[in-house]
A and B are shown apart, each in its own frame.
Chain A
Amino acid sequence: MLRIRRFEERCAQLYQTEKIRGFLHLYIGEEAVAVGVMEALEPDDAVVATYREHGHALARGVDPGKVMAEMYGKMEGCSRGRGGSMHLFDAGTRFYGGNAIVGGGIPLAVGLALADRLQGRHRVTAVFFGEGAVAEGEFHESMNLAALWHLPVLFCCENNLYAMGTALERSESQTRVTLKAASYEMPAWEVDGMDVVAVEEAARMAAGSVRTGGGPHFLEFRTYRFRAHSMFDPELYRPKEEVEEWKERDPIDLLKERLESEAILTDEEWTGMEALVADEVEAAVAFAEAGTWEPVEDLTRFVYSEVGG
């Protein structure tokens, strides 16, 4: 969580200095969700994420240097600079994006799970989406298909209360999103998304059941985005007090306090962790800085596969 937090804080700075351009959606405040879920996954499981996916990529184990280089648009980036912040991909960790159409990645997860089923593999496909996606037809179609075919999909809804600037109660007639999952006969639990231990526990139970033939499961993580939607958002749609209230339940602080109260974490260890993460982030920045620009002559590559090349 700390790695994601410091990494993204650095990204925000780099955005101000125009090293990173385009859209940049920060995950700050929601780190416990990605970290807790990834802890419950195996290396050969698959992950499909959203456009707010730096945290998912880092928690999944995508190299921070390659993620940072991608934000810079460098050829050493995890998507060769062709993707950018919203399109992080990594075959090595079975990280299938980085999908910037709300709800658009959900059908892919159903298909990845179908491929596992047809090939007799006991793997889980975890798909992340926001509560805004539950208004999309692709969400409902995919939930139905996964349930109908009993496919090994772990649906992870990150409910941060706002679809960009539209509050859930302003967009949904039924604001209990787990009830939507229940209507597809799918086990669905609400989880405190600010508590990484609770997230991991729920994800382990759900992923375990998915992996052993229990069919798709749905987890709703109650979480909150501390930063603006993107770097262009003046945040006119939510009261400052609400943001401050949620910050009191900062997932990193919560875990730190818990570990300290249980005497598992000392001040020294914390300081050491901060130093380690700071080094990692600076190493990632250095890697990105040292990266190279893909030659413009390569512009038309990766439109179609290079067979035999």
Chain B
Amino acid sequence: MTDVMTQTRTITYREAMREAMREAMQQDDRVFLMGEDVGRYGGCYAVSKGLLEEFGPERVRDTPLSEAAFVGAGIGAALGGMRPIVEVMTVNFSLLALDQIVNNAALYLHMSGGQFNVPLVIRMATGAGRQVGAQHSHSLEVWYAHIPGIKVVTPATVEDARWMLPTALSDPDPVIIFEHSGLYNSEGELPEPGGPVDIETSRVRRHGSDVSLVTYGGSLPKALAAADELAADGISAEVLDLRVLRPLDTEAILTSIGSTHRLVVVDEGWKTAGISAEIAALVAERAVWDLDAPIRRVCTAEVPIPYARHMEEAALPQVPAIVAAAREIVG
């Protein structure tokens, strides 16, 4: 089999997101962006830089620091026929809008017996690793993944950053996009010409046969680095990027376990009641006889994220811990 020649373009994760938003607004008048400092400031992470100049203040709307109101207004605008992209600066601040997301966005279709769907996209940064302290370092994706009625996606590559958004915008129901803040500067190769990608399935980012490293978002680069190290030791690690936390692509997880028979889950969330617990439970329920070794989880230590660099590094999942966990169960 020969590789199909594909052209690629080097791009940062941030630029990929921006291109996605620009294209969405060019193609559909119903799409608009609103959030804190998305306009004049250019976005807290500079993702929306230049969009105000291109689309004007009606479609790139700076909001007050009122997360509940502007997320709720996004839901209302979606009900009113628009296709809003609401940027919540970070997941930490989204807690101020939990009522709107959980009680309204997620429930309206159901409570109305199918009458009122909410075609809303919420984007937010997530994750730790930049010494910004406990209140700016949460990874609470799993809280949202717990809720039936919303979809939770976690682009980890530039291709997903570029092409998940149009799919999310064409979805009739609310989709939350979690962008790990550590990824914005990362560069990757974007296949050209690309096109919208699904927001339902996981992807094997590296094939392997000895152990499955199941991860997503900001932990994907760490899992891939760990797989490189393991390969040097002769251990063949498969890296599965979940991409979507709800609905979870359970078949992909089970398929991977079916071939490697060993599982390490890598998650920047906490272990307790986290996505790693969900995956471990899934495998225990449906594939326990496929396992040749106990499941291992490499997660954030059960502490708030400390400020001091060495302490923050110690709290978060790191490559050596992933390598050690894999070695331990491959034996």
| Residues in A lying within 8 Å of B, measured CB to CB | 46, 77-83, 87, 89-91, 96-99, 101, 104-116, 118-119, 125, 137-138, 141-142, 144-145, 148-149, 301-307
Instruction: Please tell me if the beta carbons of A108 and B104 are within 8 angstroms of each other in the complex.
Output: yes
**Given A83-B113, A108-B79, does the pair A305, B172 have CB atoms closer than 8 Å?**
yes
Q: Does B47 reach chain A (CB closer than 8 Å)?
A: no
Instruction: Please tell me if the beta carbons of B77 and A111 are within 8 angstroms of each other in the complex.
Output: yes
Instruction: Please tell me if the beta carbons of A112 and B111 are within 8 angstroms of each other in the complex.
Output: no
Instruction: Please tell me if the beta carbons of A83 and B112 are within 8 angstroms of each other in the complex.
Output: yes
Contacts of A82 in B (CB 8 A): 110-113
Q: Interface stretch among B66-74, B158-166, B228-236, B290-298? A: B66-74
Q: Does B58 reach chain A (CB closer than 8 Å)?
A: yes
How many angstroms from the CA of A116 to the CA of B76 in the assembled complex? 10
Contacts of B84 in A (CB 8 A): 111
The listed residue (B63, B111, B117) touching A97 by CB distance below 8 A is B111
How many angstroms from the CA of A125 to the CA of B72 in the assembled complex? 14
Tell me the smallest distance from the CB of B32 to a CB of chain A, in Å. 7
Instruction: Please tell me if the beta carbons of B66 and A141 are within 8 angstroms of each other in the complex.
Output: yes
Tell me the smallest distance from the CB of B269 to a CB of chain A, in Å. 23
How many angstroms from the CA of A85 to the CA of B80 in the assembled complex? 24
Instruction: Please tell me if the beta carbons of B79 and A115 are within 8 angstroms of each other in the complex.
Output: yes
How many angstroms from the CA of A144 to the CA of B66 in the assembled complex? 9
Tell me the smallest distance from the CB of A167 to a CB of chain B, in Å. 25
In the complex, the chain A residue whose C-beta lies closest to that of B76 is A111
Instruction: Please tell me if the beta carbons of A145 and B100 are within 8 angstroms of each other in the complex.
Output: no
Instruction: Please tell me if the beta carbons of A98 and B80 are within 8 angstroms of each other in the complex.
Output: no
In the complex, the chain B residue whose C-beta lies closest to that of A149 is B61
How many angstroms from the CA of A91 to the CA of B117 in the assembled complex? 11
Instruction: Please tell me if the beta carbons of A141 and B80 are within 8 angstroms of each other in the complex.
Output: no
Q: Does B173 reach chain A (CB closer than 8 Å)?
A: yes
Tell me the smallest distance from the CB of B56 to a CB of chain A, in Å. 12
Tell me the smallest distance from the CB of A79 to a CB of chain B, in Å. 4
18 contacts between A and B (CB under 8 A): A79-B112, A87-B112, A99-B104, A104-B99, A107-B71, A107-B73, A107-B76, A107-B100, A108-B79, A112-B80, A113-B76, A119-B80, A142-B69, A144-B66, A145-B64, A302-B110, A303-B149, A304-B173
| Residues in B lying within 8 Å of A, measured CB to CB | 32, 58-59, 61, 63-64, 66, 68-82, 84, 99-100, 103-104, 108-117, 148-149, 151, 172-173
Instruction: Please tell me if the beta carbons of B73 and A145 are within 8 angstroms of each other in the complex.
Output: yes
Instruction: Please tell me if the beta carbons of A109 and B76 are within 8 angstroms of each other in the complex.
Output: yes
The listed residue (A83, A104, A116) touching B100 by CB distance below 8 A is A104
**Given A46-B80, A96-B79, A111-B78, does the pair A141, B111 have CB atoms closer than 8 Å?**
no
**Given A91-B116, A145-B64, A305-B173, does the pair A98, B76 have CB atoms closer than 8 Å?**
no
The listed residue (A108, A144, A305) touching B117 by CB distance below 8 A is A305
Contacts of A119 in B (CB 8 A): 80-82
The listed residue (A110, A115, A301) touching B72 by CB distance below 8 A is A110
Contacts of A112 in B (CB 8 A): 76-77, 79-80
Tell me the smallest distance from the CB of B215 to a CB of chain A, in Å. 25
Instruction: Please tell me if the beta carbons of B113 and A80 are within 8 angstroms of each other in the complex.
Output: yes
What total count of A-B pairs have CB within 8 Å?
149
Instruction: Please tell me if the beta carbons of A89 and B113 are within 8 angstroms of each other in the complex.
Output: yes
Contacts of B76 in A (CB 8 A): 107-115, 125
5 nearest CB pairs, A to B: A111-B76, A107-B72, A115-B80, A80-B113, A141-B69
Tell me the smallest distance from the CB of A103 to a CB of chain B, in Å. 8
Contacts of B82 in A (CB 8 A): 114-115, 118-119
Instruction: Please tell me if the beta carbons of B72 and A118 are within 8 angstroms of each other in the complex.
Output: no
The listed residue (A114, A302, A304) touching B73 by CB distance below 8 A is A114
**Given A83-B111, A110-B73, does the pair A145, B78 have CB atoms closer than 8 Å?**
no
Contacts of B75 in A (CB 8 A): 107-108, 111
How many angstroms from the CA of A106 to the CA of B72 in the assembled complex? 8
The listed residue (A81, A104, A145) touching B70 by CB distance below 8 A is A145
Instruction: Please tell me if the beta carbons of B77 and A96 are within 8 angstroms of each other in the complex.
Output: no
Tell me the smallest distance from the CB of A212 to a CB of chain B, in Å. 19
**Given A46-B80, A138-B72, A305-B173, does the pair A90, B104 have CB atoms closer than 8 Å?**
no
Residue among A78, A98, A141 with most chain B CB within 10 A: A141
Residue among A111, A115, A303 with most chain B CB within 10 A: A111
**Given A104-B104, A107-B100, A118-B58, does the pair A304, B64 have CB atoms closer than 8 Å?**
no
Instruction: Please tell me if the beta carbons of B108 and A97 are within 8 angstroms of each other in the complex.
Output: yes
Instruction: Please tell me if the beta carbons of B99 and A101 are within 8 angstroms of each other in the complex.
Output: yes
How many angstroms from the CA of A83 to the CA of B68 in the assembled complex? 23
Contacts of B104 in A (CB 8 A): 99, 104-105, 108
How many angstroms from the CA of A214 to the CA of B27 in the assembled complex? 32
How many angstroms from the CA of A307 to the CA of B77 in the assembled complex? 21
Contacts of B115 in A (CB 8 A): 79, 89-91
Tell me the smallest distance from the CB of B73 to a CB of chain A, in Å. 4
In the complex, the chain A residue whose C-beta lies closest to that of B73 is A111
Contacts of A107 in B (CB 8 A): 68-73, 75-76, 100
Contacts of A138 in B (CB 8 A): 68-69, 72, 99-100
In the complex, the chain A residue whose C-beta lies closest to that of B34 is A114
Tell me the smallest distance from the CB of B33 to a CB of chain A, in Å. 12
Tell me the smallest distance from the CB of B329 to a CB of chain A, in Å. 36
In the complex, the chain A residue whose C-beta lies closest to that of B107 is A87
Contacts of A301 in B (CB 8 A): 114
Instruction: Please tell me if the beta carbons of B113 and A302 are within 8 angstroms of each other in the complex.
Output: yes
How many angstroms from the CA of A118 to the CA of B104 in the assembled complex? 22
How many angstroms from the CA of A305 to the CA of B106 in the assembled complex? 11
